[in-house]
A = this chain, B = another copy of it.
Amino acid sequence: MLYTSETIQQLTEEFSRLPGIGRKTAQRLALYVLKMPTDEVRAFAQALVDVKEKVRYCSVCSNITENDPCAICAGPKRNRRIICVVEEPNDVIALEKTHEFNGLYHVLGGALSPLDGVGPEDLKVKELLNRLAGEIDEVILALNPNVEGETTTLYLAKLLKPLSVKVTRIARGLPIGGDLEFADEATLTRALEGRVAL
Protein backbone atom coordinates (compact mmCIF):
# COMPACT_ATOMS: atom_id res chain seq x y z
CA MET A 1 0.00 0.00 0.00
CA LEU A 2 2.28 2.76 -1.27
CA TYR A 3 -0.30 5.52 -1.35
CA THR A 4 -3.16 5.65 1.14
CA SER A 5 -4.81 8.26 -1.06
CA GLU A 6 -5.62 7.60 -4.71
CA THR A 7 -6.02 11.29 -5.51
CA ILE A 8 -2.53 12.08 -4.17
CA GLN A 9 -1.23 9.24 -6.35
CA GLN A 10 -3.14 10.66 -9.31
CA LEU A 11 -1.78 14.18 -8.79
CA THR A 12 1.75 12.77 -8.36
CA GLU A 13 1.39 11.10 -11.75
CA GLU A 14 0.10 14.31 -13.34
CA PHE A 15 3.05 16.31 -12.00
CA SER A 16 5.58 13.68 -13.07
CA ARG A 17 4.38 14.02 -16.68
CA LEU A 18 5.77 17.55 -16.78
CA PRO A 19 9.31 17.96 -18.20
CA GLY A 20 12.12 17.95 -15.64
CA ILE A 21 9.90 16.76 -12.78
CA GLY A 22 10.80 13.30 -11.50
CA ARG A 23 8.74 10.96 -9.37
CA LYS A 24 10.04 12.21 -6.01
CA THR A 25 9.60 15.88 -6.86
CA ALA A 26 6.10 15.13 -8.19
CA GLN A 27 5.19 13.47 -4.88
CA ARG A 28 6.57 16.40 -2.91
CA LEU A 29 4.55 18.83 -5.05
CA ALA A 30 1.35 16.77 -4.66
CA LEU A 31 1.73 16.79 -0.87
CA TYR A 32 2.48 20.51 -0.99
CA VAL A 33 -0.76 21.13 -2.89
CA LEU A 34 -2.59 19.36 -0.05
CA LYS A 35 -1.36 22.07 2.33
CA MET A 36 -2.17 24.99 0.00
CA PRO A 37 -5.32 27.08 0.64
CA THR A 38 -8.29 25.73 -1.32
CA ASP A 39 -8.85 28.95 -3.29
CA GLU A 40 -5.21 28.98 -4.43
CA VAL A 41 -5.53 25.39 -5.67
CA ARG A 42 -8.74 26.29 -7.49
CA ALA A 43 -7.01 29.27 -9.13
CA PHE A 44 -4.17 26.93 -10.21
CA ALA A 45 -6.63 24.43 -11.71
CA GLN A 46 -8.50 27.25 -13.47
CA ALA A 47 -5.25 28.66 -14.89
CA LEU A 48 -4.44 25.25 -16.38
CA VAL A 49 -7.81 24.97 -18.10
CA ASP A 50 -7.71 28.64 -19.19
CA VAL A 51 -4.39 28.15 -20.97
CA LYS A 52 -5.90 25.44 -23.17
CA GLU A 53 -9.14 27.33 -23.73
CA LYS A 54 -8.00 30.91 -24.22
CA VAL A 55 -4.51 30.84 -25.70
CA ARG A 56 -4.29 30.98 -29.48
CA TYR A 57 -1.48 31.57 -31.97
CA CYS A 58 -1.25 35.01 -33.58
CA SER A 59 -2.16 34.77 -37.28
CA VAL A 60 0.61 37.27 -38.12
CA CYS A 61 3.66 36.25 -36.06
CA SER A 62 2.57 32.81 -34.68
CA ASN A 63 3.35 33.92 -31.12
CA ILE A 64 0.98 32.89 -28.33
CA THR A 65 -1.84 35.32 -27.69
CA GLU A 66 -5.42 35.63 -26.53
CA ASN A 67 -6.41 38.23 -29.11
CA ASP A 68 -5.59 37.93 -32.78
CA PRO A 69 -3.37 39.69 -33.85
CA CYS A 70 -1.24 39.64 -30.68
CA ALA A 71 -0.51 42.72 -28.59
CA ILE A 72 2.94 43.10 -30.16
CA CYS A 73 1.71 42.86 -33.77
CA ALA A 74 -1.15 45.24 -32.92
CA GLY A 75 1.08 47.57 -30.85
CA PRO A 76 0.90 51.15 -32.19
CA LYS A 77 4.43 51.99 -31.02
CA ARG A 78 6.24 49.02 -32.56
CA ASN A 79 8.48 49.46 -35.61
CA ARG A 80 6.71 47.43 -38.31
CA ARG A 81 9.72 47.48 -40.64
CA ILE A 82 11.92 45.17 -38.54
CA ILE A 83 11.11 41.49 -37.94
CA CYS A 84 13.00 39.36 -35.43
CA VAL A 85 12.77 35.63 -36.22
CA VAL A 86 12.85 33.29 -33.17
CA GLU A 87 12.18 29.60 -32.54
CA GLU A 88 9.63 29.57 -29.71
CA PRO A 89 7.30 31.90 -27.76
CA ASN A 90 9.65 31.86 -24.73
CA ASP A 91 12.35 33.42 -26.93
CA VAL A 92 10.00 36.38 -27.46
CA ILE A 93 9.61 36.72 -23.68
CA ALA A 94 13.41 36.60 -23.25
CA LEU A 95 13.95 39.31 -25.89
CA GLU A 96 11.14 41.51 -24.57
CA LYS A 97 12.82 41.41 -21.14
CA THR A 98 15.78 43.33 -22.61
CA HIS A 99 13.47 46.27 -23.55
CA GLU A 100 15.92 46.83 -26.42
CA PHE A 101 13.90 45.59 -29.36
CA ASN A 102 10.98 47.62 -30.66
CA GLY A 103 10.17 45.73 -33.87
CA LEU A 104 7.90 42.79 -34.57
CA TYR A 105 8.56 39.08 -34.13
CA HIS A 106 8.09 35.93 -36.15
CA VAL A 107 7.90 32.66 -34.22
CA LEU A 108 8.97 29.70 -36.38
CA GLY A 109 7.70 27.10 -33.93
CA GLY A 110 11.03 25.27 -33.77
CA ALA A 111 14.20 24.83 -35.80
CA LEU A 112 15.19 22.62 -38.72
CA SER A 113 16.18 19.18 -37.51
CA PRO A 114 16.43 16.49 -40.20
CA LEU A 115 17.12 13.82 -37.56
CA ASP A 116 13.81 14.58 -35.83
CA GLY A 117 12.06 14.89 -39.18
CA VAL A 118 11.50 18.66 -38.85
CA GLY A 119 11.69 20.26 -42.30
CA PRO A 120 10.91 23.80 -43.55
CA GLU A 121 7.25 22.84 -44.11
CA ASP A 122 6.92 22.13 -40.36
CA LEU A 123 7.99 25.66 -39.50
CA LYS A 124 6.29 28.98 -40.22
CA VAL A 125 8.70 29.73 -43.09
CA LYS A 126 6.06 30.35 -45.76
CA GLU A 127 4.31 32.76 -43.40
CA LEU A 128 7.62 34.64 -42.94
CA LEU A 129 8.08 34.98 -46.71
CA ASN A 130 4.51 36.28 -47.04
CA ARG A 131 5.24 38.98 -44.46
CA LEU A 132 8.33 40.08 -46.39
CA ALA A 133 6.06 41.06 -49.30
CA GLY A 134 5.25 44.18 -47.24
CA GLU A 135 7.64 47.04 -46.46
CA ILE A 136 10.34 45.44 -44.35
CA ASP A 137 13.77 47.01 -43.77
CA GLU A 138 15.48 44.26 -41.79
CA VAL A 139 15.07 40.63 -40.73
CA ILE A 140 17.02 39.74 -37.58
CA LEU A 141 17.65 36.00 -37.17
CA ALA A 142 17.71 35.23 -33.43
CA LEU A 143 17.81 31.44 -33.33
CA ASN A 144 19.47 29.29 -30.70
CA PRO A 145 23.27 28.96 -31.13
CA ASN A 146 23.16 25.15 -31.51
CA VAL A 147 23.25 22.80 -34.52
CA GLU A 148 19.52 23.11 -35.29
CA GLY A 149 19.50 26.88 -34.85
CA GLU A 150 22.61 27.32 -37.03
CA THR A 151 21.13 25.13 -39.75
CA THR A 152 17.92 27.15 -39.70
CA THR A 153 19.84 30.45 -39.75
CA LEU A 154 21.85 29.38 -42.82
CA TYR A 155 18.71 28.03 -44.53
CA LEU A 156 16.77 31.26 -43.95
CA ALA A 157 19.72 33.46 -44.94
CA LYS A 158 19.94 31.64 -48.27
CA LEU A 159 16.18 31.81 -48.76
CA LEU A 160 15.98 35.55 -48.01
CA LYS A 161 19.05 36.56 -50.02
CA PRO A 162 17.21 37.07 -53.35
CA LEU A 163 14.71 39.40 -51.64
CA SER A 164 15.77 43.00 -51.26
CA VAL A 165 15.82 42.96 -47.49
CA LYS A 166 18.69 43.33 -45.03
CA VAL A 167 19.22 40.06 -43.15
CA THR A 168 21.22 40.06 -39.88
CA ARG A 169 21.86 37.57 -37.12
CA ILE A 170 22.38 38.23 -33.39
CA ALA A 171 26.00 38.21 -32.21
CA ARG A 172 27.73 35.12 -30.84
CA GLY A 173 30.52 35.70 -28.35
CA LEU A 174 31.38 35.74 -24.67
CA PRO A 175 28.38 36.04 -22.35
CA ILE A 176 28.47 39.05 -19.98
CA GLY A 177 29.91 38.07 -16.61
CA GLY A 178 31.61 35.10 -18.25
CA ASP A 179 35.28 34.25 -18.03
CA LEU A 180 37.46 34.17 -21.16
CA GLU A 181 39.58 31.40 -19.63
CA PHE A 182 36.58 29.10 -19.24
CA ALA A 183 34.91 29.83 -22.58
CA ASP A 184 34.81 26.89 -24.99
CA GLU A 185 36.76 26.98 -28.26
CA ALA A 186 33.66 27.40 -30.47
CA THR A 187 32.46 30.42 -28.50
CA LEU A 188 35.93 32.01 -28.49
CA THR A 189 36.28 31.41 -32.24
CA ARG A 190 32.93 33.17 -32.84
CA ALA A 191 33.95 35.99 -30.50
CA LEU A 192 37.17 36.55 -32.46
CA GLU A 193 35.38 36.36 -35.82
CA GLY A 194 32.73 38.78 -34.65
CA ARG A 195 35.12 41.38 -33.22
CA VAL A 196 34.04 45.00 -33.71
CA ALA A 197 36.09 48.18 -34.18
CA LEU A 198 36.34 50.47 -31.16
Residue numbers of A with Cβ under 8 A of B are 1-8, 10-11, 14, 17-20, 25, 27-34, 36, 38, 40-52, 54-55, 58, 63-66, 70-72, 75, 88-90, 92-93, 96-97
User: How long is the Cα–Cα vector from A23 to B96 in the complex, in angstroms?
Assistant: 16
Give the residues in chain B near A48, CB-CB below 8 Å: 11, 14, 33, 41, 44-45, 48
Is B75 within 8 A of A14, CB to CB?
A: no
Is B70 within 8 A of A31, CB to CB?
A: no
Give the residues in chain B near A42, CB-CB below 8 Å: 49, 52
User: How long is the Cα–Cα vector from A134 to B46 in the complex, in angstroms?
Assistant: 46
Chain B, Cβ-Cβ closest to A73: B4
Give the residues in chain B near A71, CB-CB below 8 Å: 1, 4
Is A7 within 8 A of B55, CB to CB?
A: yes
Residue from B2, B34, B50, B89 within 8 A of A55 (CB atoms): B34
Is B66 within 8 A of A5, CB to CB?
A: yes
Is B25 within 8 A of A20, CB to CB?
A: yes
Is B96 within 8 A of A1, CB to CB?
A: yes
Q: A4-B64, A17-B40, A18-B32 are in contact. List 17 more A-B contacts (CB 8 A).
A: A1-B71, A4-B70, A4-B71, A6-B66, A7-B50, A8-B51, A8-B55, A11-B48, A19-B28, A19-B29, A28-B90, A31-B90, A33-B51, A33-B52, A36-B52, A42-B52, A44-B48
Is A65 within 8 A of B7, CB to CB?
A: no
Is B66 within 8 A of A27, CB to CB?
A: no
Is A2 within 8 A of B96, CB to CB?
A: yes
**A1 in contact with B75 given A49-B41, A55-B7 (CB within 8 Å):** yes
